[in-house]
Amino acid sequence: MGRLVSNYLYTVIYQILILITPFITTPYVSRVLKPEGIGIDAYVLSIVQLFVVFAALSFPMYGSRQIATKQALEERSKEFWSIYSAQLISSLITIVVFVIYLSTIEDYKMLFFIHIFTLIAATIDVSWYFIGKEQIKSITTRNIVVRVVSLILIFTLVKEVDDLDKYIMINAVTLFAGQLIMWIPLLKDITFTRITLREIKIHTSPIISLFLPQIMIQIYLLVNKIVLGRVSGEVEVGFYTQADKIVRIALGFITSLGTVLLPRMAKEFSQGNIEAMKRYIKYALQFVIMITLPMTLGLMGIAPNFVSWFLGNDFKPVISLIIIISPIIFFVGLANIFGIQILVSTNQQNKYSISITVGAILSLITNILLVTHVASVATTWALLVAEATGALIQMYFARKYFDFKNFAGMFLKYLTLSIFVFLSVSAVDKYININPVLVTFLQLLIGGLIYILGLFMIKDSILIMIVNTMKTKMLKR
């Protein structure tokens, strides 16, 4: 349990860095590159990311799961090289297609060409090996160094509008360098093993089955935005996009848990330790409910004031969208446990795919039926329908791995405390008339203190465990 907590904390630190970075670079880059440069970068990167998706497929999730089940050096080395060979083949095919695509375009060809480094970075990405071995610290350290170096280079070298190519080069090359560095500890940890084509082909079916839900998610997100844009215009798309971005800031803390816990669950399942799995699921489920419910209701409470100063008065419609969309924080948390930690780690990818597909279909239907009447509100509801449906279906499929009565009790307990958080942050916005930025910080401070106080009052087991762990570490010093 100690290593899981440590890995989670390292991952959260990196997620916080990811959140802080845009706040540091965006004001500077926006002023230097101007709206045109920012738009060109976003357009080029959006196309490149499509190629990256097909280069990476589902190797990060699948690879970490498989490595977690292999303990012996020879066995682990053979598994790595067979999976990486499949990744290399997929990536090289994607790069060839990308080069062919470059030969057909005229606009921004040089910028696209620079992004070959981005595709090569995806090709040599072996972070899944270290995640599978639960060595999160090394990955986090590398990512932090890469982020800091890229920040320094951006502020040093990007000085005018014509430096867009330098900006893209910095992002692409630092990403490539960060992935390349990881091969040094990797090659010290494994041995080279000759792999047959048959051993590579074994991985094809499970990789594709894990990849299909990811494609399905991309399709319904893209189609919903296209439908919204065609029916209601770009302004409504802008409202929806901003609401989605704000809510997804909170999701980094949830996805961190998935990254950390998947290898451990896969390892326990491969060894037949079902009771150990259930114990981890119980703690993970309690932790997810404990942090997602106050985040959900807290975000609903701070939305009116936060949107007014962070986005400006032109984006006031985003307030209602955030209030509607905030529950996806809770549902994504549940999906992380039931879908990733249980279904994927126990090789039930087909059930995972079914849940995503049903959610996607209902989402598209919701959007098409409502978008002409309520524009971006319809697309927001459609996203909530997709996430909620997927999570609930996954919960049904995973029902034998957790106690529903215990789940319901935890839900009601943390929901009650979270309602007090909502009421407190709403009261701060209503009755305290100071600088809007300070109001947001005050809301977060008061809401957090009230929630922690409530956890102490009910003697929450996870909070007590954290406090005891901290006391033990302090006494050892």
Instruction: Pick 383 or 310 by higher pLDDT.
Output: 383
Q: Could you tell me the end-to-end alpha-carbon distance of the chain, in angstroms, rounded to an integer?
A: 21
pLDDT for 87 equals: 92
Please, are residues 55 and 98 in contact by the beta-carbon 8 Å criterion? Answer: no
0.85 exceeded by pTM:
no
Tell the burial category of 147 from Cβ atoms under 10 Å away from its Cβ (0-12, 13-18, 19+): middle
93-106: pLDDT as tens digits: 999 999 999 999 88
Instruction: Pick 366 or 50 by higher pLDDT.
Output: 366
- Where exactly are the structural domains of the chain? 1-202, 205-477
**Residues whose CB falls within 8 Å of the CB of residue 112, separated by 6 or more in sequence, listed in order:** 44, 47, 48, 101, 102, 105
366-409: pLDDT as tens digits: 999 999 999 889 999 999 999 999 999 999 999 988 889 999 99
pLDDT for 162 equals: 85
Tokens of 381: 């509801």
Beta-carbon neighbour count of residue 357 at 10 Å? 17
Question: CA 68, 73, 79 angle in degrees (round to 5)?
Answer: 55
How does residue 26 score in pLDDT terms, banded at 50, 70 and 90? low
418-459: pLDDT as tens digits: 999 999 999 999 899 899 989 999 999 999 999 999 999 998
Query: Running DSSP on this structure, what letter comes out for residue 162?
Result: G
Please, are residues 327 and 296 in contact by the beta-carbon 8 Å criterion? Answer: yes
Tokens of 175: 């990403």
127-163: pLDDT as tens digits: 888 878 877 777 777 778 888 888 899 889 988 888 8
